[in-house]
């Protein structure tokens, strides 16, 4: 009897392991194929176009040419890169300064209140970027509610439009990305031990001091990932800086569009896009390294 039981197949037998491996491979095949078709393939096409020769009257000419990558040192493009990086840093700082404390307080509410806030945040995501930008145009116009309020409070000498400028672009970008960051941070914040700030309070720390000295260091990894998310969204933004900003404050996304649509230089636009993708991949690698170091500690 014992010999018969010993010969029965178990979960660790080679046929079972092969079947489990086949099932896992089949489940991973669909998302892998999706990524290959819609992520890797477009990047490879961009790389191929960026290495082609540019000729007037043709979108993409045959041949191999590295001239497009040498043109990345153009002052106009470099200025767009610097503006994009500065705007990304400013938008990330403002968004995290608003989102992190807000999510922390939401996570300390009762369950029903948390659900209500999450539904409200999800509702904000239903607004398209076009609608939000148009709303900011109306709000910041010379006849908008904000200008009328500032004029009525004598904080503005005469009514005038509050855009186009970098402040309007930053405010709109913060509004657009804020719901995403709050939803991104909520799972990590809700898992924090509620007794740690209380323990810090028993040792003499104020609530604000406990928040910055205890809670914030524990969230360094998620905060870095959220900052990377905001930076990627900001650098590649197009409509918001185009409508609410000036030409000298346009981002790489706007510059790339002008190169492709107005200058009709597809190889150069592709080279700019490849450089943008490479920069974003480097940023994500840096965030991953920060997260790995945090996990190791």
Full set of structural domains in the chain with CATH: 69-296 (1.10.3720.10)
Q: What is the pLDDT of residue 291?
A: 64
Predicted TM-score (pTM) of this structure: 0.78
Could you give the 3-state DSSP secondary structure of residue 281? Answer: helix
Q: What is the pLDDT of residue 1?
A: 47
Q: 136-163: string of b/e by CB count within 10 Å (b at 16+)?
A: bbebbbeebeebeeeeeeeeeeeeeebb
Closest CA to 234 of 126, 95, 99, 98: 95
Q: What is the pLDDT of residue 58?
A: 65
**Mean pLDDT in each 10-residue stretch from start to end of the chain (297 residues)?**
50 61 72 78 84 71 77 86 90 93 89 90 87 90 84 81 87 94 90 72 71 78 87 88 88 86 82 85 76 60
Q: What is the pLDDT of residue 275?
A: 86
Q: Classify burial at 120, counting beta carbons within 10 Å of its beta carbon; exposed 0-12, middle 13-18, buried 19 or more.
A: exposed
Q: What is the pLDDT of residue 57?
A: 62
* Percent of the chain as helix, strand, coil, to the nearest 5: 75, 0, 25
**At a CB cut-off of 8 Å and minimum separation 6, what does 222 contact?**
184, 185, 188, 189
């Amino acid at each position: 009897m014992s010999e018969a039981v010993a010969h029965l197949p178990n979960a660790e037998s080679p046929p079972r392991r092969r079947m489990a491996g086949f099932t896992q491979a089949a489940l991973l095949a669909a998302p892998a194929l999706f990524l290959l078709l819609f992520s890797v393939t477009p990047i490879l096409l961009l790389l191929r176009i960026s290495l082609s020769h540019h000729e007037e009257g043709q979108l993409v000419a045959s041949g191999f040419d590295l001239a497009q990558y040498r043109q990345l040192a153009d002052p106009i493009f470099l200025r767009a890169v610097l503006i994009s990086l500065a705007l990304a840093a400013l938008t990330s700082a403002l968004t995290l300064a608003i989102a992190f404390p807000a999510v922390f307080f939401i996570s300390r509410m009762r369950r029903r209140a948390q659900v209500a806030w999450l539904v409200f945040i999800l509702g904000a995501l239903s607004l398209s970027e076009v609608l939000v930008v148009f709303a900011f145009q109306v709000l910041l116009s010379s006849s908008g509610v904000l200008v009328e309020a500032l004029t009525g409070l004598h904080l503005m000498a005469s009514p005038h439009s509050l855009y186009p400028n970098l402040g309007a672009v930053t405010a709109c970008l913060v509004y657009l990305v804020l719901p995403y960051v709050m939803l991104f941070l909520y799972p990590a914040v809700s898992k924090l031990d509620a007794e740690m700030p209380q323990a810090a309070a028993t040792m003499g720390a104020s609530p604000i001091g406990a928040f910055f000295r205890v809670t914030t260091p524990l969230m360094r990894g998620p905060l870095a990932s959220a900052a990377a998310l905001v930076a990627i969204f900001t650098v590649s933004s197009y409509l918001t800086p185009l409508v609410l900003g000036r030409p000298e404050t346009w981002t790489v996304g706007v510059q790339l569009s002008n190169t492709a649509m107005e200058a009709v230089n597809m190889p150069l636009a592709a080279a700019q896009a490849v450089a943008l993708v490479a920069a974003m991949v480097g940023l994500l690698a840096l965030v991953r390294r920060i997260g790995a170091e945090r996990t190791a500690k």
